[in-house]
Chain A
């Protein structure tokens, strides 16, 4: 079944139909989420009551739009705060890891590399509970020993940041390492010959070369952090990020305000996703 081999028209037609159905299946849930954001009804379901923008801009109950719903706005802020921290930390550590794995040979490198990949195969829920258990027992121990409070080790944003960081760093490391492997070391040597210091050469030559990968991994980290649910669920305290807030609202029974948030999320994530692809594409030719 390749273009150069003729196939019966019926087979071809069936195949095309299947592919079309598949893409409808892919698009359907997102489409209905978006469409019902504009339904003038308090339930995100049929019948269609007419077009409205109230779920975005409305300010009178029950039509409280996204931009006037405090709990959602606050949780978007929380998510953004977490995402910036996670992405910053993941990129810094990921870059260090890339240099370590690409530039250095040392004993136990293969084992360390395997360990570095581990977070990919640990289910998010387990990652969450293990960090929860560990930090709580650390907090108990420290509190018993010193008599002070260690709130940072109790469920809350610092733990959410650490939990997400613990597996997102692996992705950052993989993306940045792949780029660093393509770097021609003679460029750096040339800089050293021209009198640059070691750090100067890295800053002036190597880091600019890595920049597309760094930006791409930062974008992907932000995306993953924003969307993470499983790990976050176990570590969350009183300030909940967007996905947790939405989950709680969804369990209580939802109004189309959730559709409106989802629509915004879809737009932002698609934009971020395309952006990361563009950056990765830019690094491909060189």
Chain B
């Protein structure tokens, strides 16, 4: 039996979460969808229709940017996994005690620092008058200043840098839970390093790999700073287009449609990732 007081307590606890989710998450997204399916036919006159989505598919610049953003995010995710896995393995399996904590902390510190500062660092390193260009010149490898900023490779370096922690942390956690004796057993049974990696380590680390990939993909897809600052003016990134439609062009209807498409892609990837690995959202997010 529930007393009135505890019912009251329950509703008091229920009110804040309901307010938060309804007012700040659910209603705004419904609103965003409604705006995305309204077409401007005259000043302050709107009609319902999918014209904004048609505009997206009809204009190559829009959907190519969308595809480019998606492909580069996938590439960044793959690269982050390939680069991050050995590091996570090293931290989880080849270090002990204080070294382990120190290495782990050294991984974390850059990520407590604002993304803006990290990107600024890369700009100083890569630009024409930057550190790398000067280093190459003084080594005599190149004759004049080299511009390494404002291209896709620079964006890639920045994206990987920005998101690698979100790959390393879940990987370290899952690899930590892999018992060394399983690896030893693999060697005792005559397995080679590659086959042990393939048969024992990677299957065990799969949940961590999936969590890491999902988070890194989402972060890359939704990234704004890195592509804009490292990719320069001509670099196209879908979040940049959303910003342009909203703030510069003031075409909120098209901007909302873009926003919904990006949200759709990002949710689809999360959903597929979770389905393929048989995990739930709470497991995945709880880990990172």
Contacts and interface: CB of A to CB of B under 8 A. Distances in A.
Asked if A pairs with B, the answer is yes
Given A96-B17, A262-B117, A22 B83 contact: yes
B262 interface: yes
A166 B16 CA distance: 12
B246 A120 contact: no
A269 B114 contact: yes
A166 B25 CA distance: 7
B86 A18 contact: yes
Contact of B31 (A92, A133, A233): A133
A45 B120 CA distance: 12
B262 A117 contact: no
Contacts of B239: 123, 125, 230
Most chain B beta-carbon contacts within 10 A, residue among A29, A113, A115, A233: A29
Interface of A: 1-5, 15, 18-19, 22-23, 25-33, 36, 43-47, 92-93, 96-97, 99-100, 104, 106, 112-127, 129-135, 137, 162-163, 165-166, 169, 174, 198, 223, 226-227, 229-230, 233-234, 243, 246-247, 250-251, 254, 258-259, 262, 265-266, 269-270, 272-274, 277
A92 B16 contact: yes
Contacts of B12: 96
Interface stretch (B52-60, B202-210, B263-271): B263-271
A97 B246 CA distance: 33
A29 to B, nearest CB: 3
Contacts of B16: 92-93, 96-97
A270 B106 CA distance: 10
Interface string B73-88: 0000000000100110
B116 A125 contact: no
17 contacts: A2-B94, A4-B184, A18-B86, A26-B107, A30-B118, A45-B130, A46-B134, A114-B281, A117-B285, A122-B263, A124-B222, A131-B28, A133-B252, A134-B27, A227-B114, A265-B117, A269-B114
A117 B211 CA distance: 14
A100 to B, nearest CB: 4
Nearest to A23: B106
Given A5-B187, A27-B106, A100-B14, 19 more contacts: A2-B93, A19-B86, A28-B121, A28-B125, A30-B117, A45-B129, A45-B131, A46-B134, A99-B13, A114-B282, A123-B263, A125-B242, A126-B222, A126-B262, A227-B113, A234-B246, A243-B114, A250-B116, A262-B120
B62 interface: no
Interface residues of B, number: 84
Interface string B12-34: 11101100110011111101100
B236 interface: no
B238 to A, nearest CB: 9
Contact of B222 (A125, A269, A277): A125
B58 to A, nearest CB: 22
Contact of B25 (A4, A92, A118, A135): A118
A233 B243 contact: yes
Contact of B120 (A115, A226, A258): A258
B5 interface: yes
B281 A243 contact: no
B17 A30 contact: no
B8 to A, nearest CB: 11
